[in-house]
Amino acid sequence: MKKRIIIFLGIQGSGKGTQANILATKHHIPIIEAGELIRKEIESNSKIGKSVKSYATVGKMIPDRIFSKIIFNQIKKIGHPHNIIFDGFPRRIKQLGIIFKIKKYLEMDEIVVIHLSLSQKIAKERIADRLICPKCENTYSKSIDKVFECKKCHIKLEKRDDDNGKAISKRFEIYEKQTQPVIDKLSDDNKVLEFNGAKTIKNIALEIDRSIKKVLKN
């Protein structure tokens, strides 16, 4: 049976993080969430964390050499799994080199991309509707979850500072310029599974599960 790297990609608001965690939990696949790793590294106040913070506080992109070190440190903790999930990584063409190094290091056979597509209009509506826990950064929908306190941390949910119209448009622009080319490049030699991110969480999860089961059989 083949060993695989499964990558979840999609614009903000598409629900890729939610779906990545659903799949990871159901099939007991270790997951690496790039954003979560960065946050933990900063909180640890380690040498790498301080370096990351110096870039993040001024809004600069974290160099790939630092990103690579953080991710490989996490992979070494996980070991050599049969399959592994990446949520929101790689985000730009240059980061593909890191993924290919990981593939070689873990002796993986294949890369599978799960892409959740969503219109900017719906994504903006979802982002405008969401609240976030300032501690664990779990997100909630005001209209669906109808809660104003984090179920895990039991503290008041907040609105992200950059969840405004101008910032959201900028993030979409960056996604189109940097992340879409990653999907296009990976589609040349790897499986790219497309899903409609506008559907309900439950329906998307069922569709992904059906598709991934077929992939994992081989």
Answer yes or no: is 67 a known binding residue. Answer: no
H or E segment and range at residue 210: helix 201-217
Q: How far apart are CA 52 and CA 165, in angstroms?
A: 27
Answer yes or no: is 199 a known binding residue. Answer: yes
Answer yes or no: is 35 a known binding residue. Answer: no
Answer yes or no: is 39 a known binding residue. Answer: yes
Answer yes or no: is 65 a known binding residue. Answer: no
Q: Where are the alpha helices (DSSP H) in 28-174?
A: 34-44, 47-56, 64-78, 96-105, 120-129, 165-174
Answer yes or no: is 178 a known binding residue. Answer: no
Q: How far apart are CA 17 and CA 40, in angstroms?
A: 17
Answer yes or no: is 49 a known binding residue. Answer: no
Answer yes or no: is 185 a known binding residue. Answer: no
H or E segment and range at residue 187: helix 180-189
Question: Which residues line the annotated binding site for ATP?
Answer: 13-18, 130, 199
Question: Which residues line the annotated binding site for AMP?
Answer: 39, 88-91, 95, 160, 171
Question: Which residues line the annotated binding site?
Answer: 13-18, 39, 88-91, 95, 130, 160, 171, 199
